[in-house]
């Protein structure tokens, strides 16, 4: 959760309201034993990252699920029919954030849930909302070890495992180097070969490129120079290839730079889409090129062949499908944002610096010769 307004309210909640709310939860649990009430449904708390909900759709389908999320995720939630009820927080201004947060908290506090699952466990505000709820089981899912507050707050919690030894952790923190995780590298190599053997790169007519990722995390984007390498390689394929580069808005941070580059490649079309058009184009494409983003999760949902670049996030973080060809440096420090208070690389993000060899997969598209 990196939005400035959300960070501010998160600090206030953490220092002032969360301890008070823990007491409320304690007394609620005592009262529930004395005066049992009917509980039903599941509340999922996840503010940012609509792609997470798309990836969770198979779990949510058929269950009585309510969602607490940001207003910016409304299109995805409605488009894919995710959740029976939505509590949406509007973070476009501080006033709207406070008003919608208070209204959502009141509505949620009046409900009785079978279970509440907090997927924003690093957020004090999410913990506050979770503690407000009346539920039989309160769960948290995180990539970091729990604090003492979490220990007393959650009935159940899950810390996602990593394949990083304590010694390697110390090496990364004390003297950072680009240390490869060989376990991840071997697994990725096996998946890549399966992708190639399945023949996903033959008979490609339409290629969709989605350069964007969440505006809360620009570090997982490819550089414009890397995208130009990709444009150049695709340009050299046969003339039948139809290539579109999708942007949800002209306000995207890479829009102007990439639009200038695309002008040098008349066969490549730049398209600013609505959300419905964005989903439609991905669902029908022969091949998608993207980063770890909502475009990837939508492509996985429709089982469309995808070449995806991963840096500070893990290919195994949400879903990892046979239709996905993951390009990653397989560094031991990745995924990093939830493991360290200060990134061991000091924000240089070496995991997003790719070599020419990383783009060789494009040579297999329709057996291209270039």
What token pair was written down for 208?
């969709």
Among 53-67, 298-312, 342-356, the range of highest mean pLDDT: 298-312
Q: Which CATH number fits domain 166-367: 3.40.50.2000, 1.25.40.10, 3.40.605.10, 3.90.550.10?
A: 3.40.50.2000
Please state, rounded to an integer, the average pLDDT across all residues of the chain: 87
| DSSP strand pairing (287-291 vs 206-210) | parallel
Q: Is 266 exposed, middle or buried (0-12, 13-18, 19+ CB in 10 A)?
A: exposed
Q: Model confidence over 135-153: pLDDT tens digits?
A: 988 988 876 667 777 878 8
Pairwise CA distance, residues 227 & 211, whole Å: 8
pLDDT number for residue 213: 84
- Residue ranges covered by each domain of the chain: 4-159, 166-367
CATH superfamily of 4-159: NAD(P)-binding Rossmann-like Domain (3.40.50.720)
- Say yes or no: do domains 4-159 and 166-367 share a fold: yes
Closest CA to 306 of 40, 315, 3, 80: 315
User: Sorting pLDDT into bands at 50, 70 and 90, what band is 370?
Assistant: very low
Give buried/exposed letters for 126-158 (b at 16+ CB in 10 A, else e): bbbbbbbbbbeebbbbbbeebeeebeebbeebe
Q: Model confidence over 257-277: pLDDT tens digits?
A: 999 999 999 889 999 999 999
Q: Model confidence over 149-200: pLDDT tens digits?
A: 787 888 888 776 667 777 787 778 778 888 888 888 999 999 999 999 999 9
User: Sorting pLDDT into bands at 50, 70 and 90, what band is 124?
Assistant: confident
CA dihedral 62, 65, 68, 71 (to 10 degrees): 40
Q: Return the half-sphere exposure (C-beta side, CA atoms, 13 A cut-off) of residue 212.
A: 24
Q: Which residue has the tokens 């102007």?
A: 256
- Predicted structure pTM score: 0.83
Q: Model confidence over 45-93: pLDDT tens digits?
A: 998 888 888 888 878 888 899 999 999 899 999 998 999 999 999 988 8
């Amino acid at each position: 959760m990196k939005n400035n307004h959300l960070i501010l309210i998160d600090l206030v909640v953490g220092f002032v309201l969360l301890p008070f709310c823990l007491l409320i939860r304690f007394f609620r649990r005592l009262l529930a034993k004395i005066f049992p009430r009917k509980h039903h449904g599941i509340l999922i708390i996840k503010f940012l990252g609509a792609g997470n909900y798309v990836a969770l759709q198979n779990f949510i389908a058929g269950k009585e699920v309510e969602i607490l999320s940001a207003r910016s995720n409304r299109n995805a939630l409605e488009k894919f029919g995710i959740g029976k009820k939505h509590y949406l927080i509007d973070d476009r201004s501080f006033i709207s954030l406070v008003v919608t947060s208070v209204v959502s908290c009141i509505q949620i506090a009046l409900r009785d849930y079978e279970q509440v699952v907090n997927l924003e466990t690093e957020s004090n505000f999410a913990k506050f909302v979770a503690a407000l709820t009346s539920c039989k089981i309160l769960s948290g899912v995180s990539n970091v070890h729990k604090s003492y507050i979490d220990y007393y707050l959650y009935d159940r919690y899950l810390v996602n495992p990593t394949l990083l030894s304590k010694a390697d952790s110390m090496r990364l923190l004390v003297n950072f180097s680009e240390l490869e995780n060989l376990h991840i590298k071997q697994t990725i190599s096996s998946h890549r070969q399966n992708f190639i053997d399945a023949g996903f790169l033959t008979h490609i007519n339409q290629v969709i490129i989605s350069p964007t990722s969440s505006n809360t995390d620009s570090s997982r984007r490819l550089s414009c120079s890397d995208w130009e390498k990709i444009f150049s390689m695709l340009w050299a394929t046969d003339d039948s290839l139809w290539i579109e580069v999708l942007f949800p808005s002209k306000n995207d941070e890479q829009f102007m730079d990439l639009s200038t580059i695309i002008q040098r490649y008349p066969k490549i079309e730049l398209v600013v889409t609505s959300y419905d058009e964005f989903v439609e184009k991905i669902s029908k494409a022969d091949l998608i090129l993207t980063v770890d983003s909502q475009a990837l999760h939508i492509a996985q949902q429709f089982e469309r062949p995808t070449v995806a670049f991963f840096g500070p996030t893990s290919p195994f973080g949400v879903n990892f499908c046979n239709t996905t060809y993951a390009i990653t440096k397989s560094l031991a420090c990745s995924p990093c944002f939830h493991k360290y208070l200060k990134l061991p690389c000091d924000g240089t993000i070496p995991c997003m610096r790719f070599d020419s060899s990383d783009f060789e997969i494009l040579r297999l598209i329709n057996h291209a010769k270039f």
